[in-house]
């Protein structure tokens, strides 16, 4: 996609995107990430339905530093994500049913249609602002603590 097409897509998303996607509300929920250097608390939006998961963070221009979106699936499987219509760079943290981090992808590229894979079966993916993984030292083996995981 050339730069002028990308700029047009961003402009369309800014002007009509939020209104077009407002039909999906997201429940807020606390989530803690346990790393080797401590516990880190977040408030995440839950993407549980197929509609919520399709919408994700599309057309958002910003997200609070202690916020994120948690996509939870009924059972572990190979998960794939992309950044279509997503305007902010993200870190993606994939986790198994026990909340253990299995794979991390840092600094995804806004508006990219490149497939981002969990590489191994995962039950959930946590999207955070780009740079959060490096700042907190999140690595495979760390743990997401949330009632929809850990069991």
| Digitized pLDDT (tens) for each residue of the chain, 151 residues in all | 555 555 544 545 544 444 444 467 899 999 999 999 999 999 999 999 999 999 999 999 999 999 999 999 999 999 999 999 999 999 999 999 999 999 999 999 999 999 999 999 999 999 999 999 999 999 999 999 999 997 5
pLDDT score of 24: 74
Determine the 3-state secondary structure of 3 from DSSP. helix
pLDDT score of 102: 98
Radius of gyration of the chain (CA): 15
Here the tokens at position 87 are 């305007």
Which residues sit opposite 134 in a β-bridge?
none
Q: Are strands 143-145 and 67-77 parallel, antiparallel or unpaired?
A: unpaired
Return the closest-CA partner of residue 151 out of 128, 124, 127, 125. Answer: 124
Assigned CATH class of 3-145: mainly beta
pTM: 0.85
């Amino acid at each position: 996609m050339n730069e002028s097409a990308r700029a047009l897509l961003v402009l369309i998303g800014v002007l009509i995107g939020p209104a077009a996607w407002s039909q999906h509300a997201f429940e807020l929920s606390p989530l803690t990430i346990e790393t080797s250097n401590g516990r880190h608390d977040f408030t995440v939006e839950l993407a549980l339905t197929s509609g919520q998961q399709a919408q994700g963070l599309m057309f958002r221009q910003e997200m609070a530093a202690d916020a994120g979106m948690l996509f939870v699936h009924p059972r572990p499987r190979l998960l794939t994500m992309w950044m279509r219509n997503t305007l902010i760079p993200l870190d993606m943290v994939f986790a198994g049913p026990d909340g253990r981090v299995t794979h991390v992808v840092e600094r995804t590229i806004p508006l990219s249609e490149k497939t981002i894979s969990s590489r191994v079966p995962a039950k959930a993916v946590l999207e955070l602002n780009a740079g959060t993984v490096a700042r907190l030292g999140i690595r495979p083996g760390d743990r997401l603590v949330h009632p929809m995981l850990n069991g």
